[in-house]
């Protein structure tokens, strides 16, 4: 049965078709009064199910975030008319894994388009929407443990996540006086599509570097994001919160 409760607060979640993004949207729709605007390149069965079940509180937008220049039109023509934006979760990420001596500038630029520039553009227009509607909102950027602990082949990917962490901290300082918060969640390695290319031996070596000696729980990451979006985290901004099984 379709749900018809009109949400009063809308949250944008990028990369909601799989992995952390998919689990996060499932939790937001089931456990909260938030409306969710999902942005991803593709539509799958889960997205179609959300559209049928949560017809009034879930909106899907098909968009390739590699097209950074088009985000202004996307926001003004498709997102702004849905309702005032309360939250943004920059979750989409492209992984370009290789050692630095093999760096390919085209692949690097494509990764930065998705991981950094598109995220920054979405923050820009989300901020403008919040200011227009006098919304004291919350921005959450998904980083990676690779920005804090070195892994062979992840130097370039880690650099993109380090950039978004620095951006997030400064957004917190710039807009805190308007009640707008900005935080990062740093997940450890999880069993998601992005880790499918790793062998079991490689995964085991990674998990041994954590205090809990296992993969990071996806639900724990999602619950941390939901908390940062909530009023319960009203005094938390400019933070980088690790959800990584104690990778120290």
Kindly report the CATH number assigned to the domain that includes residue 135: 3.40.50.720
- What number of helices (H) and strands (E) belong to the chain? 8, 7
- 182/227 Cα distance (integer angstroms): 13
**200 CA to centre of own chain:** 26
91 inside domain: yes
46 inside domain: yes
| pLDDT at position 1 | 44
Tokens of 231: 């009023």
Among 187, 148, 143, CA closest to 164? 143
> Does the pLDDT value for residue 229 go beyond 80?
yes
4 inside domain: no
| pLDDT at position 196 | 60
> Does the pLDDT value for residue 112 go beyond 90?
yes
Give catalytic residues, as residue numbers. Answer: 157
DSSP for 1-33 reads ----PPPSSEEEEESTTSHHHHHHHHHHHHH-S
Tokens of 8: 């009063």
72 inside domain: yes
Global pTM? 0.93
The count of domains in the chain is 1
34 inside domain: yes
């Amino acid at each position: 049965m379709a749900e018809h409760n009109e949400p009063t607060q809308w949250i944008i979640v990028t990369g909601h078709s799989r992995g952390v993004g998919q689990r996060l949207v499932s939790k937001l729709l089931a456990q909260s009064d938030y409306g969710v605007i999902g942005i991803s390149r593709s539509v799958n069965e889960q997205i179609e199910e959300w559209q049928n079940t949560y017809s009034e509180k879930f909106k899907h937008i098909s968009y390739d975030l590699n097209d950074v220049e088009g985000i202004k039109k996307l926001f003004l023509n498709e997102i702004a008319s849905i309702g005032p934006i309360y939250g943004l979760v920059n979750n989409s990420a492209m992984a370009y894994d290789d050692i630095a001596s093999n760096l390919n500038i085209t692949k690097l630029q494509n990764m930065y388009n998705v991981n950094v520039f598109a995220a920054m553009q979405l923050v820009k227009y989300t901020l403008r929407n919040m200011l227009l509607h006098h919304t004291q909102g919350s921005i959450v950027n998904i980083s990676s443990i690779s920005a804090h602990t070195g892994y062979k082949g992840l130097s370039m990917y880690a650099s993109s996540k380090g950039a978004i962490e620095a951006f997030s901290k400064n957004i917190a300082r710039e807009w805190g006086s308007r009640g707008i918060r900005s935080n990062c969640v740093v997940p450890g390695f999880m069993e998601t599509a992005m880790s499918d290319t790793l062998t079991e031996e490689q995964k085991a070596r990674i998990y041994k570097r954590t205090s809990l000696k296992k993969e990071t729980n996806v639900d724990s990451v999602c619950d941390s994001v939901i908390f940062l979006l909530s009023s319960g985290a009203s005094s938390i901004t400019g933070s980088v919160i690790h959800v990584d099984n104690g990778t120290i």
